[in-house]
Structure 1
Amino acid sequence: MPYLTRPVLPAGTLARAPQPTLPTGDGLVLRPWRTDDAPAVHAAFQDPVMHQWHIRTADSEDEVRGWITEWQGAWEQERSVQWAVADTSGDRLLGRVALREIILGDGVAEVAYWTTAAARGRGVAARATDALARWALDEIGFQRLELTHSVANEASCRVALKTRFAVEGTKRRALLHPDGWHDMHLHARVRGD
């Protein structure tokens, strides 16, 4: 049975070219992950703040190398795309930004991010998120990007609002964290915002 509408983005929209490096224009770059990022990612995941807001831990650099291998292969699968966020002056890892839960046919994806402890309070998450959103919406043609965070995570809410992701509501008891179920704010940025 045929659909009444065409896909917003056809299969192959991302995979037909290599994963790009995206400069933010203000001292940061979003670049594909490299295996030699493993020690910095492992160190980032030892931070208690990461344990508070994320549901994953990193027990070893070998485990992280496995994640990076998955992240490197995800571009071709077009379901999840991960970038390392680094400074342009020394290529020091400052965080991660991603498109997850990609549905090309609907032109929808979820934005996710984290920053290292040393990068917090410097606008790194907001700058990286804004660069990713501009690329996804304006260059690639996604229609809608969603962003969710625990309602208790005020810093993440500030990032969402600063990057023009409008609050759309609260998803009650939507994600299980180590300390129990968290309500999640749902934000979205659509093409033209």
Structure 2
Amino acid sequence: MTSRPAAPVPATAPAVPAAGRLAAGEQPVLPLSGELELRPWRLDDADAGALLAAGQDPDISHWNLFTVGSRAEARDRIARMHRRRTAGTGAVWAVAPRGGAAIGLAALNDVDPADGSAEVAYWVLPAARGGGIAVLAARRLGRWALDELGLRRLTLRHSTANPASCRVAEKAGYTYEGSLRDALAHADGRHDVHLHTLVAG
């Protein structure tokens, strides 16, 4: 009787970031093209009013369930952003001109170091829309998360009723993988969503 060859041993998965890596050191500033950058939110951003304006914008509040009703709530939200990063569960950046006030937000949510995955989210204030800023932010944050933080897979989800976010995902290089039924809650109920991904390599 001839013996069967031994089954191949699965290759060891590449190392993923340690649970504390996102929280280590200072949150980086990530340059974008032109004079824009992704920078950590500061408490003085609450007084500048970007979060309050976002909380009053019907599109941002609808698609992101984002509510900020006062500068005190804005300061509390900024403090929570920093706690999330120090816990290693997420990180949130302001999109802003260098030295200027925030005009948008970009975030890594639901960071899972063991799985090497996270979800990308963003919004841009109305006055800054139409110039490709969301595309720049989603692309830059994605490359940093994969190339420097060491994650393997990023997801970007949006309602099928939100074609503007579909265009952002495609232009930022996130591959469309399919639709998920009844997968996200928005202001008017649950929506089917498009799933886009960016994968290391």
What TM-score does the superposition give when structure 2 sets the normalisation length? 0.88
Tell me if 1:75 matches 2:70: no
- Indicate which of 20, 23, 27 corresponds to 1:19: 27
Regions of 4+ moved over 4 Å: 4-7
Show structure 2 runs of 5+ residues with no match.
1-11
Mapped to 2, the partners of 1:20 and 1:105 lie a distance apart of 22
Mapped to 2, the partners of 1:54 and 1:140 lie a distance apart of 25
- Indicate which of 52, 61, 64 corresponds to 1:42: 52
Tell me if 1:179 matches 2:177: no
1:122-159 per-residue CA deviation (whole Å, 9 max, x = no partner) reads: 11111011111111111221111100011111111111
Q: Which segment drifts farther, 180-189 or 9-18?
A: 9-18
Mapped to 1, the partners of 2:165 and 2:154 lie a distance apart of 16
- Indicate which of 104, 108, 113 corresponds to 1:99: 108
Aligned residues: 188
Change (3 A) 1:50 1:16: closer
- Indicate which of 33, 39, 43 corresponds to 1:31: 39
1:50 offset after TM fit, Å? Answer: 1.5
1:49-106 per-residue CA deviation (whole Å, 9 max, x = no partner) reads: 1133121322211111100011122211110100001012x51211000000000111
User: Contact 2:32–2:136 at 8 Å: present in 1 too?
Assistant: yes
- Indicate which of 165, 176, 179 corresponds to 1:167: 176
1:17-45 per-residue CA deviation (whole Å, 9 max, x = no partner) reads: 21111111332110011111112210122
Aligned-residue Cα RMSD (Å) equals: 1.5
Show structure 1 runs of 5+ residues with no match.
none
User: Contact 2:45–2:101 at 8 Å: present in 1 too?
Assistant: no
What TM-score does the superposition give when structure 1 sets the normalisation length? 0.92
**Which one has a bigger Cα radius of gyration?**
2
Q: Give the secondary-structure state (helix, strand or coil) at the position aligned to 1:106.
A: coil
Mapped to 2, the partners of 1:179 and 1:99 lie a distance apart of 25
